[in-house]
Structure 1
């Protein structure tokens, strides 16, 4: 699945916000993605193909597949777990946190349905504490470290995504956070409502 996602994306440069994405291979032969932000920071994504996922990666992929999501694919959720900031590599969530993500993924899936436009990327999902600390501007107690948050880039204005998320939340579909950022929208299912502008 990851391999097919990269096949669809590897044809050139994607651009959103202040980030341009370039694909290549690292010294191990894994597909890599490097982004340069406006501040000059580099982030590298060494996402293995489906055949290269380790045992835990394959188990997490199976877990995500079992959720029966309509639009959100396991490969899209797996990608952010292989990003590197500086010398800090992100990781898959610990097994005990796996069951925290399904409510947020269901909100993302419903958003995709409601918006009627493609999901371009899951920018961020679970973040290890070390990786979160390496993310400039990340909250010290980020919901990403609890595996209940997603940063999503849909093929429409982030304001439309936030409005759709607010509509779902007001209908009682979830309780959680909605963060508006220039290139993406944060959603989480923390259990209480929160709104902010990044």
Structure 2
């Protein structure tokens, strides 16, 4: 009887021990999982992604005149005042618009063939407000170069001041005053017989280009007695030696 009672009591003690152990584990787990409202909280750190620097590449001018010699007169002019800075700014402006480098700077800045007689400058950077006017004309030139209409030419006059234009015998409303016109010569200054044949062929290609694309490009084309050729982008028209369309080389196309 005594042994049986002891056995029952031992069983109760074992059950109580298991119960106490289970409760202590629950309390411990709850304490570990319960958030501590007084604990210090730190902001989450986001993973930093490295940003690679973007390299801005300016368009490069299309250089097609590497074999041309720069005149000493232009180099001397470039050293005077702020001419070099003006030329650089002008060239950068044209390059950013996709028409830089089509013509060497010493040709692009030529004023008029009669600059000495008129006591003016041989080279001149146009006023900044007129820079954009030459872009459409240079686009015309670029297309002619791409299509091999012109292969050997030299620009002789671009922008002129009003006083120089008047002295040089230009029209009162000359496109040169607005920096939209360009005069050039095909072939060498003193051509031989073979040169004359090539010049004639180039002029025919020029007229064909004007006939096919001139209207859409708003292109003006003239051929003067001196053999100088004029292009601009201020009106679809053509003229010849007497400044009339009837005498234009392109009137038969």
Structure 1 residues 145 and 119: CA distance shift in structure 2, 3 A: farther
> Would you say the 8 A contact 1:72–1:109 is kept in 2?
yes
- TM-score, scaled relative to structure 2: 0.53
For each residue in 1:150-198, what CA deviation from the matched residue of structure 2 results, as whole angstroms up to 9, or x when unmatched? 112234336322332232214x2x11321112423211111x3222113
Runs of 5+ in structure 2 lacking a partner?
A: 1-60, 188-198, 242-253
Instruction: State yes or no: 1:185 paired with 2:229.
Output: yes
1:66 aligns with 2:96: yes
In structure 2, the CA distance between the partners of 1:163 and 1:186, relative to structure 1 (3 Å rule), is farther
Q: Is the 8 A contact 2:109 2:159 kept in 1?
A: no
- Match of residue 69 from structure 2: 9
* Of 179, 183, 194, the match for 1:151: 183
Give CA deviations for 1:63-100 in whole Å, capped at 9, x if unaligned.
12223238713526534148733212252211111111
On the 8 A contact 2:155/2:183 being kept in 1, the answer is yes
Number of the residue aligned with 2:9: none
- Greater RCO, CA 8 A, separation 6+: 1
**TM-score if structure 1 supplies the norm length?**
0.66
Matched, 1:165 2:210: yes
Greater helix share, 1 or 2? 2
Task: Tell me, in whole angstroms, the C-alpha distance in 1 between the residues paired with 2:95 and 2:103.
Answer: 8
Q: Partner of 1:113 in structure 2?
A: 146
CA deviation profile, 1:19-63 (whole Å, cap 9, x unmatched)? xxxx5x45xxx54xxxxxxxxxxxxxx6537xx843222211111
| Greater fraction of residues in strand | 1
Q: Partner of 2:110: helix, strand, or coil?
A: helix
Q: Which whole-Å CA distance do the structure 1 matches of 2:212 and 2:97 have between them?
A: 23
Task: Provide the residue aligned with 1:54 in structure 2.
Answer: 84
Aligned residues: 160
- What are structure 1's unaligned runs of at least 5 residues? 11-22, 32-45
Q: Radius of gyration: which is bigger?
A: 2
Q: Distance in 2 between matches of 1:8 and 1:59?
A: 22
Is the partner of 1:92 in helix, strand or coil?
Answer: coil
- Measure, in 1, the Cα distance between the counterparts of 2:86 and 2:100: 23
Alpha-carbon distance between aligned partners in 1 of 2:141 and 2:211, rounded to the nearest angstrom: 12
